[in-house]
Amino acid sequence: MSRAADQAPSATPVLAAPSPVGLVAVMPDQAGNLGAILRTAACLRAPVHVVEPCGFAFSPKAWRRSAMDYAGLAAIHRHASWAAFLAARGAARLVALTAHGQASLWEARFAPGDLLLLGSESAGLPAAALAAADLGLRIPLHPQARSLNIAVAGAIALAEAQRQLRA
């Protein structure tokens, strides 16, 4: 292999426009996972809606600590409850990421404005969120695997949605 092929490109690709798809962390229970979600969303320019209550103290100080220096890049929207989120969501399609989704992520066709619902690590999405979802998606896994970390699942789905919509 040539030396030139081993060298990284001189410029990192830049996302010029905000993401056409957002993430919704519904009652997250682990600060570290929410930090990873915020960092992913900041890097991919996606808005993040945090539906409370959280299983930890959630404040600007806490999200700056968990998302490190990326928190300032994230577009974070707080909602005091699921009902408050629904009232603020507008006409966005709600896409639930769930191990019991009726369709595979790879079969899904995303639309601008979609909001990807992520449940808590311990309990998944609450029944009200699953009932409100317009579409339930699962990420195909090894047959002996139960689930992915919620932040990883959100990153995979967000990347797939952006791949489709930014093409």
Binding residues: 97, 119, 139, 147
Angstrom distance (rounded) from CA 156 to CA 159:
5
Angstrom distance (rounded) from CA 154 to CA 103:
16
Contact by Cβ (8 Å): 98, 132: no
Name the binding residues for S-adenosyl-L-methionine. Answer: 97, 119, 139, 147
What does each C-alpha distance from 138 to 49, 91, 102 come to in angstroms?
21, 23, 7
Specify the DSSP class assigned to residue 75: E
What does each C-alpha distance from 21 to 30, 81, 111, 122, 137 come to in angstroms?
23, 21, 8, 25, 15
